């Protein structure tokens, strides 16, 4: 059973289905060939050992080629869906998708640490490094029906940002800033797990995505932005500076 899908991007589910059923078909063929071999070449049927390969078995090379073509098709299908998520993941592409559906885009930074997640928001003004920036621990609050662009990094060791309900899983790597996006559809609470063995406390490195209605989200935003107990600017740890540097670099090259 797959976890409840809380996003409307069907690509990952479809590619899992294709791989799963593909493997079932390949598996059935393999067992048929195996069973045929057991029957055809049993000691009872072949009292004298043959020193040559029967022609029927030479033709099986075509089966190998068929499997190879099937693998290439699987790869192509997966690349097609993953390209949406991991290549066309820049601000402009995400904004374009959101605009087509009249949806909001929420920008978040996610930082993995032993053993918790930190989430940063630009706050109601939408600008980073201003006084209304928001920092939260372990709970990622989002509005429903919004596109969410998450920049992921880690502060110490490798972690993996895993949102099973949103079909997102991506490594959080110290010194590297990776972007993933997804769309929220339904309100509710969903699990965030760390999917990379990151130390003794790995098992308890879990958080929660809380998807609120648009109205409740706006209220939450106003509420927390006014009294964020830690200011973004006061953070000097490595994870945040990585995100800053990446931003500055991309601004310089533009
Ligand atoms: Cu972790």
DSSP letter for each residue of 91-126? HHHHHHHHHHTT-EEEEEEEEEETTEEEEEE--TT-
List C-alpha distances in Å: 184 to 104, 161, 179, 216.
Answer: 10, 16, 16, 15
CA–centroid distance, 203 to ligand 1, in Å, is 8
> For residue 226, what pLDDT band results from cuts at 50, 70 and 90?
low
Question: d(Cα 254, Cα 251) in Å, to the nearest integer?
Answer: 5
CA–centroid distance, 47 to ligand 1, in Å, is 60
Q: Taking Cα atoms as reference points, which of 242, 56, 59, 80 lies closest to residue 156?
A: 242
Question: How confident is the model over 7-25, as a mean pLDDT?
Answer: 84
Q: What are the pLDDT digits (tens) for 41-87?
A: 888 888 888 788 777 777 778 888 888 898 898 888 888 888 888 78
Mean pLDDT across the chain, nearest whole number?
A: 84
CA–centroid distance, 184 to ligand 1, in Å, is 23
Q: Which residue is it, tokens 């989430």?
A: 119
> For residue 100, what pLDDT band results from cuts at 50, 70 and 90?
very high
Ranges assigned E (strand) in the chain: 104-113, 116-121, 134-137, 139-143, 146-154, 159-163, 168-172, 178-183, 188-194, 206-212
Question: How confident is the model over 182-190, as a mean pLDDT?
Answer: 93
Q: What are the pLDDT digits (tens) for 120-177?
A: 998 888 888 877 888 888 999 999 999 999 999 999 999 999 999 998 999 999 999 9
CB 174 within 8 A of CB 15: no
Which range is least confidently modeled, 32-36, 66-70, 202-206, 234-238? 234-238
CA–centroid distance, 149 to ligand 1, in Å, is 20
Quick one: pLDDT at residue 36?
86
Residue 250: how many other CB atoms lie within 10 Å: 12
Q: Which residue is it, tokens 């601004």?
A: 251
CA–centroid distance, 155 to ligand 1, in Å, is 10
Quick one: pLDDT at residue 249?
46
CB 123 within 8 A of CB 133: yes
CA–centroid distance, 229 to ligand 1, in Å, is 24
CA–centroid distance, 122 to ligand 1, in Å, is 24
Strand duo 116-121 + 104-113: pairing: antiparallel
CA–centroid distance, 147 to ligand 1, in Å, is 25
> For residue 228, what pLDDT band results from cuts at 50, 70 and 90?
low
Quick one: pLDDT at residue 63?
80
Instruction: Show the CA angle centred on residue 107, arms to residues 237 and 139, nearest 5°.
Output: 65
Instruction: Tell me the percentage of the chain whose pLDDT exceeds 90.
Output: 43
Question: Regarding predicted confidence, which is higher, 252 or 17?
Answer: 17
Which range is least confidently modeled, 105-109, 154-158, 244-248? 244-248
Question: How confident is the model over 207-231, as a mean pLDDT?
Answer: 81
CA–centroid distance, 213 to ligand 1, in Å, is 29
CA–centroid distance, 139 to ligand 1, in Å, is 15
Whether the pLDDT of residue 232 is over 70: the answer is no
CA–centroid distance, 241 to ligand 1, in Å, is 19
């Amino acid at each position: 059973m797959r976890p409840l899908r809380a996003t409307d991007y069907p690509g990952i589910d479809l590619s899992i289905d294709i791989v799963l059923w593909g493997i079932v078909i390949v598996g059935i063929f393999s067992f048929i060939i195996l069973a045929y071999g057991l029957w055809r070449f049993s000691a009872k049927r072949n009292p004298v050992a043959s020193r040559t390969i029967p022609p029927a078995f030479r033709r099986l090379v075509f089966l190998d080629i068929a499997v190879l073509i099937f693998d290439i098709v699987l790869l192509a299908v997966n690349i097609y869906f993953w390209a949406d998520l991991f290549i066309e993941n820049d601000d402009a592409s995400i904004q374009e998708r959101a605009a087509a559906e009249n949806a909001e885009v929420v920008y978040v930074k996610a930082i993995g640490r032993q053993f918790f997640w930190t989430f940063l928001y630009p706050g109601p003004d939408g600008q980073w490094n201003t006084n209304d920036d928001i920092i939260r621990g372990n709970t990622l609050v989002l509005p429903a029906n919004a596109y969410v662009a998450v920049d992921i990094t880690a502060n110490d060791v490798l972690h993996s940002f895993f949102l099973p309900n949103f079909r997102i899983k991506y490594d959080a790597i110290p010194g590297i800033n990776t972007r993933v996006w997804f769309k929220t559809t339904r309100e509710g609470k969903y699990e965030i797990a760390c999917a990379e063995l990151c130390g003794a406390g790995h098992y308890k490195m879990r958080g929660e995505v809380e998807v609120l209605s648009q109205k409740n989200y706006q209220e939450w935003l106003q509420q927390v932005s006014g009294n964020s107990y830690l200011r973004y600017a006061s953070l000097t740890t490595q994870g945040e500076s990585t995100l800053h540097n990446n931003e500055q670099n991309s601004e310089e090259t533009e």
